[in-house]
Structure 1
Amino acid sequence: MQDSAFEDQPNLIDLRDTGRFLATLEALNCSLALSRRPSGVALLGVDNGVPTLSACLLPRSMGLAVEGDRLAIATQREVMVFSNARSIAAQYPVRPDYYDSVFVPRTSHYTAYCDLHDMALDGPRVIAVNTRFSCLCVIDGFFNFTPIWRPPFVSAFSGDDRCHLNGMAFHDRKASFATALGQTDAPYGWRDGMAQSGILMEVPSGRIVVSGLSMPHSPRVIDGELYVLEGGRGHVLKIDKATGAKRVVAELPGFTHGLAVYGGVLFVGLSKLRMKRGPQGLPIEEAGKLVAGVAAIELASGKVLGILEFYNGVEEVFDVQVLPGVRRAEIISPKQWFETPSMETIHGGMWERWDEGDGDEASAT
């Protein structure tokens, strides 16, 4: 499959569905937002059995968060919040009478470099895992960010990534669990033994629920139960919150990173390994061929319903979020928005185009 959003790249994204991934996504009447490496965010849907894919290039896109019609994206030095201009999507001048959703940039928070991982939207605030500063933080425009919690074993507030805090379970409007790649208090200390020293912590107590994990990410509380991805083994785990006992829900052919649930289906991001760093001693290195893509797993049974593989253009899927009620979506970069601005209020909206020779006046469409 090819997409016009990638026309400036020689190798476009090719997709392959192994199983019933696309059928499952279409039956749920939703799309997925994916942050990927190389940089960018893609929106993936299905309409009449045909995958729809749009994307925009953003600098080092990482964590994502969705609340209603808003999509937050962490980039290299900012958090951008996009809004679905759903009421005027069908009038988008670039392709009228096609899209049911068009995500446009609405606000931007300049954070400086924080290496933001998991995020959540909480009204006007963004709650984020600030990996560089080993803390959870609030981003609301008052400061670049405001720290609200850090693991008890981290003794100082400093920008030296002491434990590679990376995952957050945000449930009932509060952070309840977090993951890190090591229980360390030395600058970049997590790099030693990261293949088997990962931990899952309770927030705010800091109690370590599970240790000895291989690169854990993306903890989530789903229907009252605790799940986490063990990237170094390609596992989806279910964790007993009281005892720390773990059960493998699914084993997948990729480094697992990014977890979302919708309609009884888990969507899990899969990545190839960054072999430019050389072997890391991860158990999954012995698994053979790994894929970049997304897996769909039935929550009740752990059955893998299908895997959507990216054959080129994507080496890693960093995060996955669900966009309910969306099939044919477009996402517009800030540069594209300035070329074709949108205006929305509670009374409706319109698209503006600056016509050559009109001076300072815009024409509405």
Structure 2
Amino acid sequence: MPHTQKKENVVEQSPHDTAVPPTQTDPAEAPLINLRDTGRFLDVLASLKCSLAISRRPSGVALLGVENGVPTLSACQLPRSMGLAVGGKRLAIATIHELMIFANVSSLAPLYPERPDYYDAMFVPRVSHYTGDLDLHDMAFDNQIVLAVNTRYSCISVIDGYFNFTPIWQPPFVTEFGPDDRCHLNGMAFHESKVRYVTALGETNTPFGWRKGMVDGGIVMEVPTGRIVASGLSMPHSPRIIGGQLYVLEGGRGALLRIDPATGAKQTVTTLPGFTHGLAEYGGVLFIGLSKLRMKRGPQGLPIEAERDELVAGVAAVDLASGAVLGILEFYNGVEEILDVQVLPDVLRAEILNPRQWAQMPSITTMRGGFWQQKPREEDEEAAAAAQG
């Protein structure tokens, strides 16, 4: 008998701004994820013929696409998902103690017994590196290895399975090595097979010392020199080199910045109604993650707290050439923060199975073909024995 897969339920809203917020008192416990497009977000995503991988809190990863003008959302639970990386048919996801690599078994996607002839991409777990709690943020595939910003150990690391991680660079002002998050190194601009720039929340060298100055102590550094390119930033994240220019998200202001690495001059491209975290470019469009603030510590004195009455959790689409906001896909419930955003090119209807879900009905792929293993070995063995009399 096919298994009954327990997935997060989602509601597919129309592309118009007509969604109604759920009435549950705790949005994280709501059975549906309600979405609202406040612009042309879905039209843009559909025109690019791609989907988005989104790392979110409450913890998990969602794959977002568009079909016939409405969003499709596949989501799976993972323990404290953080950074993401896409390389070909691989999707890397950092969790609290592991770096998991999923494979897109696209040839098996239409054969998925739970929904035949529907999916064009199916991400299943393939490799898991047991890293320990590293608080991995930005990541990138470099051939067969993964480079990751190891925030807890204040370094850039290689994750390849030989060790829990191998540190390859740390800011020159960090003089000790340990799990004490000295500067909250968090972002990495990986371009043409090299790490070019990184972001941190402070030029600090004491355990968690960045917290005292996180309102405006953020910096952008050049790699490998460690030269500080820009300073005075409010919680910078997600540096990227796009079209030969350096872009950085200034989370504490909800801003997208363009920075001149030679002079440190900062230009605000646009501001958005959320804490900006997670940036990906595709087809001339920037996809930017938006988050609500974590209120467990109370007000943090960030500029965005005074400038915005209410923040949203979602993803914004911004035109790279003009900086115009094309639309925002807002999550009404089920999502408080977006940690990372990655583009899945040429994917329209994707599914993702976490290890527990995959183990209930494994996909088997080899050079000689593949299939979905719908029955345990014992049932196959009993059926064979019965057939033999």
* 2:237 aligned with 1:235: no
2:241 aligned to which of 210, 221, 241: 221
CA contact (8 A) 2:317 2:325 kept: yes
1:73 counterpart residue number? 93
CA contact (8 A) 1:354 1:362 kept: no
1:6 counterpart residue number? 8
Q: TM-score, normalised by structure 2?
A: 0.90
- Alignment gaps of 5+ in structure 2: 11-28, 385-389
Shift of 1:223: 1.2
1:328-356 C-alpha deviation (Å, 9 max, x unpaired): 00000101111111112334321111158
CA contact (8 A) 1:352 1:362 kept: no
More strand by share: 1
* 2:111 aligned with 1:106: no
CA contact (8 A) 1:353 1:362 kept: no
2:191 counterpart residue number? 171
| CA-based RMSD | 1.7
1:27 counterpart residue number? 47
CA contact (8 A) 1:355 1:362 kept: no
2:334 counterpart residue number? 313
Written as runs of structure 1 = structure 2, the 5 A alignment for 1:288-327 is 288-327=309-348
Shift of 1:359: 5.5
Written as runs of structure 1 = structure 2, the 5 A alignment for 1:172-211 is 172-211=192-231
* 2:299 aligned with 1:279: yes
Q: Compared with structure 1, are the counterparts of its residues 360 and 243 closer, same or farther at alpha carbon in structure 2 (3 Å cutoff)?
A: farther
1:345 counterpart residue number? 366
* 2:354 aligned with 1:354: no
- State the distance in 1 between where 2:383 and 2:359 align: 12
CA contact (8 A) 1:91 1:97 kept: yes
1:260-307 C-alpha deviation (Å, 9 max, x unpaired): 000000000000011121111100001111100000000000010000
Count of equivalent residues: 361
Q: Compared with structure 1, are the counterparts of its residues 142 and 285 closer, same or farther at alpha carbon in structure 2 (3 Å cutoff)?
A: same
Shift of 1:314: 0.3
Give the match's secondary structure for 2:356. Answer: helix
Q: Compared with structure 1, are the counterparts of its residues 362 and 338 closer, same or farther at alpha carbon in structure 2 (3 Å cutoff)?
A: farther
Q: Compared with structure 1, are the counterparts of its residues 277 and 343 closer, same or farther at alpha carbon in structure 2 (3 Å cutoff)?
A: same
- State the distance in 1 between where 2:383 and 2:298 align: 54
Letter in structure 1 aligned against 2:352 = I
- State the distance in 2 between where 1:360 and 1:180 align: 57
Structure with larger Rg: 2
Shift of 1:159: 1.0
- State the distance in 2 between where 1:313 and 1:103 align: 21
- Alignment gaps of 5+ in structure 1: none
The range that moved more, 122-131 or 226-235, is 122-131
Aligned structure 1 segments of 4 or more residues deviating by more than 6 angstroms? none
